Amino acid sequence: MDTRFLPINKKEMNTLGWDRPDFVYVTGDAYVDHPSFGVAIISRVLEAAGFRVAILSQPDYKSCDAFREFGRPRLGFLVTSGNIDSMVAHYTVSKKKRNYDYYSAGGKMGKRPDRAVIVYSQRIREAYGDVPIIIGGLEASLRRFAHYDYWDNKVRRSILVDSRADILTYGMGENILLRIAALLDKGVPVKKIRDVRGTVYLCSRDDKVNYPTVGGFDYDDLKTDKALYAKAFAVQYNENDAVSGRAVIEYYDNKMLVQNPPMPPLEREELDRVYALPYTREYHPSYESEGGVPGIAEVEMSITHNRGCFGGCNFCALAFHQGRSVRSRSIESVVEEAKKITESPRFKGYINDIGGPTANFRYPSCDKQLKSGVCANRKCLAPTPCKNLKVDHEEYVELLRRVSSLPKVKKVFIRSGIRFDYLMYDKDDTFFRELVKNHVSGQLKVAPEHCCDTVLMHMGKPNIAVYNKFKDKYFALTKSFGKEQYLVPYLMSSHPGSRLEDALELALYLKRGGYSPEQVQDFYPTPGTASTVMFYTGIDPFTNKKVFCETDYHQKQLQRALLQWSKPQNAPLVREALLQCGREDLIGYTKDCLVRPESSVQRKPQGAKSQGRNTKNSGKNSPQKTRSTRNVRQDKKAAPQKKSSGANTKRKRK
């Protein structure tokens, strides 16, 4: 047994001399002891506090036998689906089964069930009856209230209700679970633990709540009243702040669901301690025979330096999970982790990323947030920056310089994505220059997403003019440094607010700019985002105004095809879309056309001019990871396409 890891079976537990663990941590992922994996962080934090944690990774969920592997734990079970929602891990936006799982050994599918948190909790109940069950992770966090479920196409109950667990933890769970563990260790019954911030529990309707409350919506109303559902989400979103947030309640028959206010984010010293724990930074050796766990490839030589995001994109669940108030690690902490990376026998001189939800955020967006919390009625960056926004890259520049100067380090890259509008608002262009000169691995990820003001407004993104200025300066700096580097713009089709005409406008914008997208992300309605609320209700939860949402599968295909007009297989759909938009003039052979006619002989519209032949712009598909890498190529010079073995985590678009 490799004793650097926590035990994953009874034999390994016995080797450590344990009679039983304090906690059994059930996860839908393979066991990877790396700080990019939630299971690794929580288990190491509990271990450092003196608790014994055993890892039950991807147990056979068809019966409860596998859940008896370690016997009944002294304090309880912790349950997570893994790094991402199990339904997102299993299905594409078109609800087709995926054929590869980045968080399972060898990429093999089928090692976790759909709705893993519910299934695992049910099996534990079958095995041990009233043993304490605490659920957490992304799947539980984003489904903590009644929520629209895209795969069932209905509003489902809180996952706490369906799983029959005792406590749900939401957000970043280190201090939450330390508090719960301490109470359980003192003998406090799990049903009596009701005052811990960052938790959700069920009780009787007339029970006293420990915090001021808002909400009070009934599930029976929420599942049928779309306007009420949108209103409920706005309340939940606005109360998700550790400074100003109140408890939010929801009713289920004779039960009351209570979400306590969020746990305050870890401050710098606390984050430093978490990332200094003795992670092996490897997957458990038992997976070696299956080819290892592919999800580690993208993060093994990477460093997370911050948490939280004040970007406020409506399609992103970060605000509902990590929160909008940013915290970061000290430079010294990041440097120490970088030193550990350089000691790996697999290190080749390159730190792949020093990033996070948004790489170029280090502090809260303004001083007001520390005293009063985040603003409930506006965003920090979009559609225009708040007058109180503090823009400062100085410390991030110093961090990058310090890591870059370490022995053995040839290059430090930023690959997790930057917020380009925040960068452009910085009057000091030192970071911009150093980014382009030293920290781009051939191509830089940015997320304009669209070009139409209406769509961008519903996305929570800035006007396209900001991106255009960024793009121009990026390529000017690239040229001045004598480099050949590219932008990898994330693009999204069918987002709420986007009509077919908007998709056409984006297609023409891309064509004018010389881009031919290799991949485009169709909007994926996942729990915990304002955009998903818009998709289901047709209502913007923040304004209560109606929003057009394309829900017809074929029409969504047309939007996506327009953005990838150069792909030959898309030609029939592009022609159909252009005819629907009344833009038959874009079917032809001139340089302005998006697609050729169906046949070489086409009747010309009356008064049409003769058309000359132009070289078709097409690109080859390249292997991509799900959702988080959508490469494009520039028309004149193709950006090199990199095969990625990273995994789809929570949405990281900036």
Q: How far apart are CA 287 and CA 553, in angstroms?
A: 39
pLDDT-derived band at 640, boundaries 50, 70, 90: very low
Query: Which residues, 6 or more positions from 244, have their beta carbon under 8 angstroms from its beta carbon?
Result: 372, 373, 374, 376
Question: Which tokens belong to 543?
Answer: 């304004």
Confidence of residue 623 (pLDDT cuts 50, 70, 90): very low
Contact 425, 385 (CB under 8 A): yes
pLDDT-wise least confident of 120-129, 243-252, 375-384, 422-431: 375-384
Of the candidate ranges 175-189, 338-352, 623-637, the one whose mean pLDDT is the lowest: 623-637
Instruction: Report the DSSP beta bridge partners of residue 257.
Output: 202, 250
Separation CA 133–CA 125 (nearest Å): 9
412 touches 354 (CB < 8 A): yes
Contacts of 420 (CB under 8 A, 6+ apart): 446, 447, 448, 466, 467, 470, 654
The label of the residue with tokens 């109940």 reads 125
- Helix %, strand %, coil % of the chain (to 5): 35, 15, 50
- 500, 499, 518, 494: which is closest to 578 by C-alpha? 500
Give residue-wise pLDDT tens across range 578-603.
Answer: 999 999 999 999 999 999 998 754 44
Listed in order, strand segments (DSSP E) in 255-403 are: 255-259, 282-283, 302-304, 306-307, 327-328, 350-351, 353-355
Res 445: pLDDT:
86
Q: Cα–chain-centroid distance for residue 301?
A: 20
Residue 469 has pLDDT above 80, yes or no: yes
Residue 199 confidence class, pLDDT cut points 50, 70, 90: very high
For the residues 236-245, what does the mean pLDDT come to?
Answer: 96
Predicted confidence band of residue 651 (pLDDT cuts 50, 70, 90): very low
- pLDDT of the residue at 519: 83
Q: What structural domains does the chain harbor?
A: 10-196 (3.40.50.280), 479-524+538-654 (no CATH)
Q: For residue 198, how many other CB atoms are within 10 A of its CB? A: 25
What's the average model confidence in pLDDT over 112-138? 97
Cα(121)–Cα(604) distance, integer angstroms: 65
Q: Is 576 helix (H, G, I), strand (E, B) or coil?
A: helix
Is the pLDDT at 516 greater than 90? The verdict is no
What pLDDT, on the 0 to 100 scale, is given for residue 260? 98
Residue 624 has pLDDT above 90, yes or no: no
| Residue 241 Rama label (left phi>0; alpha psi -120 to 50; beta) | beta
pLDDT higher than 90, residue 631 = no
Residue 411: partners with Cβ closer than 8 Å, 6 or more residues away = 349, 350, 351, 404, 438, 439, 441
Quote the pLDDT of residue 474: 97
pLDDT at 609: 41
Inter-helix orientation angle 226-238/530-537, to 10°:
170
Supply the DSSP string of 352-369, one letter for each residue.
-EEESSSTT--S-SSTHH
Distance CA 56, CA 284 (A): 12
- With a CB cutoff of 8 Å and minimum separation 6, the contacts of 224 are none
In whole numbers, what is the pLDDT of the chain averaged over residues?
91
With beta carbons less than 8 A apart as the criterion, state whether 631 and 519 touch.
yes
From CA 197, how far away is CA 183, in angstroms rounded? 13
Residue 97 predicted with pLDDT over 60: yes
Question: What Å distances lie between residue 199 and 179, 250, 307, 381, 554, CA to CA?
Answer: 11, 14, 19, 30, 41
Q: What is the pLDDT of residues 70-80, one digit of tens each?
A: 999 999 999 99
CA atoms of 209 and 201, how far apart (whole Å)? 11
Above 60 in pLDDT, residue 618?
no
The C-alpha atoms of residue 192 and residue 194 are separated, in whole angstroms, by 6
What is the phi-psi region of residue 528: left when phi exceeds 0, alpha when psi lies from -120 to 50, beta otherwise?
Answer: left
pLDDT attached to residue 626: 32
**Predicted local confidence at residue 517, as pLDDT:** 86
Q: Are 177 and 166 in contact (CB under 8 A)?
A: no
Tell me if residue 76 falls in helix, strand or coil.
Answer: strand
Chain-centre distance for alpha carbon 383: 22
Q: Per-residue confidence at 417, pLDDT binned at 50, 70, 90?
A: confident
What type of residue is 335? V
More confident residue, 81 or 517: 81
- pLDDT of 34 above 60: yes
Question: Per-residue pLDDT for 283 more than 80?
Answer: yes
Q: Distance (Å, rounded) from C-alpha 45 to C-alpha 272?
A: 12
- What's the rounded Cα separation, in Å, for the pair 374 and 58? 38
Q: What is the pLDDT of residue 518?
A: 83
What pLDDT does 649 receive? 37
Average pLDDT value for residue range 8-20: 96
Outline where 111-170 has alpha helix (H): 116-128, 137-142, 159-163
Q: What is the pLDDT of residue 377?
A: 81
Residue 56 banded pLDDT, cuts 50, 70, 90: very high
Handedness of CA 377, 380, 385, 389 (dihedral sign): positive
Band (184; pLDDT cuts 50, 70, 90) = very high
pLDDT higher than threshold 60 for residue 608: no
Check residue 400 and give left, alpha or beta (phi > 0: left; psi -120 to 50: alpha). alpha
pLDDT at 3: 80
Residue the block writes with tokens 């109606």: 546
- Sequence-distant (6+) residues with CB within 8 A of 87 are 114, 115, 149, 150, 151
Q: What is the mean pLDDT of residues 348-373?
A: 94
What does the alpha-carbon distance between residue 480 and residue 535 come to, in Å, rounded to a whole number? 44
Calculate mean pLDDT across residues 315-334: 95
Least confident of 55-64, 192-201, 595-604: 595-604
User: Using an 8 Å Cβ cutoff, are 259 and 246 in contact?
Assistant: no
Least confident of 104-108, 113-117, 431-435, 513-517: 513-517
- At 633 the pLDDT is 32
What one-letter code names the amino acid at 167?
I
Residues linked to residue 203 through DSSP beta bridges, in sequence order: 256
Bond into 383 cis (ω within 30): yes
State the Cα–Cα distance between residues 125 and 314, nearest whole angstrom: 37
Backbone angles phi, psi at 239, to 5 degrees: -90, 0
Percent with pLDDT over 70 in the chain: 91
Residue-level pLDDT at 51 = 98
- Residues 87, 110: Cα–Cα separation, whole Å: 12
Question: In this predicted structure, what is the pLDDT of residue 416?
Answer: 86
**Which pTM value belongs to this model?**
0.90
Of residues 613 and 345, more confidence is placed in: 345
Task: Report pLDDT for 653.
Answer: 45
Terminal alpha carbon distance of the chain: 42
> Residues 6 or more apart from 645 whose CB is under 8 A from it?
102, 294, 297, 298, 625
Q: What average pLDDT does this structure show over 195-216?
A: 97
* Partner residues linked to 252 by β-bridges: 255
Q: What is the pLDDT of residue 627?
A: 32
Lowest model confidence (mean pLDDT) among 318-322, 461-465, 623-627: 623-627
The residues with which 134 forms a beta bridge, in sequence order, are 78, 167
Using CA atoms, how far residue 59 sits from 66, 85, 90, 125, 618, in Å, is 6, 17, 17, 15, 45
* Average pLDDT score over residue span 442-460: 95
